Amino acid sequence: MHLQFKDNVLLKNYTTYFVGGPAKKLIEVQSVEELKTVLKILNEQDDRYIVIGKGSNLLFDDQGYDGTVIVNKINKIKWNETQVDVSSGYSFSLLGSQSARKGFSGLEFAAGIPGSVGGAIFMNAGAGQMETKDPLLKVTFLNEDGKLEDYNRKNLKFSYRKSPFQEMKGVIISALFDLKKYENPLKKVKSIIKQRIETQPYQSKSCGCIFQNLEYISAGRLIDDCGLKGLKIGGARVSDRHANFIVNDDNATCENILDLIKYIQTKVYISRNILLETEVRYIPYQEIKNSDKI
């Protein structure tokens, strides 16, 4: 086991947004044993920590993070006929394309989603009519007492971009997905990726969609209808291709992005009386105490 806590590591290099100041400490873990050891050390020190995967839905503060960032690099995968047991640090996109190449259907939508398997389960990531919960059978979770627990999908309540893990203390370790044999899943993958390239700023630095959709209307359409495409604050810009993306155009700061979020929320609220809720997870530099909340 080789564990190395690094000091003052720039978080911008650990997110798809390329935004974020230094973490007080950062450590990469390659196995469950390493993760358990790190959590034990941090719990003893009573240090604040966050576990991240590929940083695709995260917005770190310009000041950074006053605690330890644990980067999940647990990367195992095991196929058993149509089932796949995969670690939470594994690339969700790679899992999608590999399962399609094997002739399996169920995870085609994952191809092109830049997060990790753990992140996809945590956020119940989705595209088209599919969500991560759909092909899921089981999740293995490391609870706050350092014990591994298995959760059957049937006992987990998922909804749009929500999973029970958002309210639980611990770390998603691995997942078992159940897929189906299908004649041409690769064709489906290709068309999903083609559509994404055509309608989303696929090449730009972003966190994916910034706001959650409403049940009856897409946030992108609402923002577009308010004429906000192309609007810029500092280095952050509302994408011209898809209005629910704020792209990091030119060394955007977290502050630029948060200001643009507030501006969009205000404009949409004034014109439609709808308060858009963010999908991106903003991580403040220090824990916001209840007494400091407005």
Residues near ligand EPU, by CB under 6 A = 127-128, 199, 208-209, 212-213, 218-221, 224, 242-244, 279
Q: Which of 28, 34, 108, 279 is an active site residue?
A: 279
Residue recorded with tokens 């350092």 = 146
Does 101 qualify as catalytic in the annotation?
no
Q: By the 8 A CB rule, do 185 and 100 touch?
A: yes
Q: Which of 161, 196, 207, 237 is an active site residue?
A: 161
Distance CA 161, CA 157 (A): 11
Residues whose CB is less than 8 angstroms from the CB of residue 50 and which lie 6 or more positions away in sequence, other chains included: 65, 67, 68, 69, 70, 283
Q: State the nearest-atom distance from the C-beta of 75 to ligand EPU, in Å.
A: 23
Q: By the 8 A CB rule, do 128 and 192 touch?
A: yes
Q: State the nearest-atom distance from the C-beta of 244 to ligand EPU, in Å.
A: 5
Helices 92-101 and 185-199 meet at what angle, rounded to 10? 140
Q: 54 vs 242, which CB is nearer to ligand EPU?
A: 242
Does 209 qualify as catalytic in the annotation?
yes
Q: State the nearest-atom distance from the C-beta of 19 to ligand EPU, in Å.
A: 16
Residue 218 CA, distance from chain mean position: 19
Q: Phi/psi of residue 239, each to 5°?
A: -60, 140
CA angle 66, 69, 73 (to 5 degrees): 175
Q: 88 vs 213, which CB is nearer to ligand EPU?
A: 213
Q: State the nearest-atom distance from the C-beta of 205 to ligand EPU, in Å.
A: 14
Distance CA 86, CA 72 (A): 13
Q: 49 vs 158, which CB is nearer to ligand EPU?
A: 158
Q: State the nearest-atom distance from the C-beta of 119 to ligand EPU, in Å.
A: 11
Tally the residues of the chain.
294
Does 279 qualify as catalytic in the annotation?
yes
Q: 98 vs 132, which CB is nearer to ligand EPU?
A: 132
Distance CA 50, CA 287 (A): 11
Sheet containing 83-87: order of strands: 77-80, 83-87, 170-178, 136-143, 148-152
Instruction: Tell me if residue 150 falls in helix, strand or coil.
Output: strand
Q: Which of 28, 196, 209, 237 is an active site residue?
A: 209
DSSP state of 87: E
Among all residues, whose Cβ is closest to ligand EPU?
208
Residue recorded with tokens 């997942």 = 175
Q: State the nearest-atom distance from the C-beta of 207 to ligand EPU, in Å.
A: 7
DSSP state of 289: P
Q: 31 vs 265, which CB is nearer to ligand EPU?
A: 265
Q: 277 vs 287, which CB is nearer to ligand EPU?
A: 277
Which residues are the active-site residues?
A: 161, 209, 279
